[in-house]
Structure 1
Amino acid sequence: MKILARHLTADLFNCQNKQLNDNEQILDMLKKILQELEMQLISCSSENLDNGHNVLMLIMSDGHITLHVYPERKYVALDVFLCREDAEPDKLGQAIRSFFKPDKIKTTILKRGGFGTAKELKPKVKTRVAPLRKIHNTGAKVIRILARRNNNAQ
């Protein structure tokens, strides 16, 4: 199947980086990543919106990166679109994730412009949870199960 582009979307939850309000630092990080991956930057911009979130956008010769950063929620919505069939947007995604240090990540990778069957076009979705968060979630589940058993026994 011939595709035109690859598209990665990611939700980064409970980001541990304290610089979520610093658009300049985030743009510097993105520019550095593009330079390391030898991707040509055409333009970039950032805006602080009234509703408490920041938008950053980078236009490259072969795609774009868009970030919506919600500092109060410690949440980042990431969008990487690369206009090549052999593109690897996850390389960009991994570098960006390492900057924000989220506890939980939901990633979707799409093949764009493919004209194959519906089965071939189904997106791949991955969810990752940081190890400490997994322990906390498991502990909370165990406590709920024990509490239910205790209530049922009474």
Structure 2
Amino acid sequence: MKLLGKHLAVDMYGCSFENLNNLELVKNAILAALTQTNMTLLNLSCQKSEPQGLTVLALLAKSHISIHTYPDLGYAAVDVFICGDQTRSDQALAVLKRFLKPEKTKTTHIMRGDFGSQKDMKPRIRVSIAPLRRVRNTSAKVWRFLRNK
């Protein structure tokens, strides 16, 4: 199976409370990322939480971008999933970083639809040697017992 898309799961730390609690700024960040990467917006959904924090989800043609903010922690959880062109997810993330201004980020790259070889698709079987060790230990105890008699 060929690679279908790239999914970036990004933790942004050290963002300012004001940036993370500003719904218009976060919406503008996503819209700027879409403009920069020439992606098609189907729907933009926003939810402001009380007493602070917000969620913004951009549903795109074959993709999505979401941002969940925790202003009291200075933290934003960002997901960027883009089918096809791999470079656009990195470009979108760069725009979001420019708006949210995190001090530190942790990015997890997930290649969607990339199973590699047929061998990679087979489930892995775990083998436990604990029962064998118990048998070996028991037989050693029996031999010691018989030797001592």
Provide the TM-score with structure 1 as the length reference: 0.69
Contact 2:36 2:92 in 1 (8 A): no
What does residue 46 of structure 2 align with?
46
Contact 1:44 1:59 in 2 (8 A): yes
Matched residue pairs, number? 120
- 1:3-152 paired onto structure 2 within 5 Å: 3-16=3-16, 18-50=18-50, 52-84=52-84, 86-88=85-87, 89-117=89-117
Q: What is the deviation of 1:43?
A: 0.6
**CA distance, structure 1, for counterparts of residue 94 and residue 117 of structure 2:** 29
Q: What is the deviation of 1:70?
A: 0.6
More helix by share: 2
RMSD (Å), alpha carbons: 2.4
Long gaps (5+) in structure 2 = 121-149
SS at match of 1:115: coil
Q: What is the deviation of 1:53?
A: 2.8
**CA distance, structure 1, for counterparts of residue 113 and residue 75 of structure 2:** 29
Long gaps (5+) in structure 1 = 121-154
SS at match of 1:7: strand
Deviations 1:2-60 (A, max 9, x none): 11111001100011473221112211221122112211111101112347431110011
Runs of 4+ with >6 A deviation: none
Match for 2:91: what amino acid? K
Provide the TM-score with structure 2 as the length reference: 0.71
**CA distance, structure 1, for counterparts of residue 40 and residue 100 of structure 2:** 23
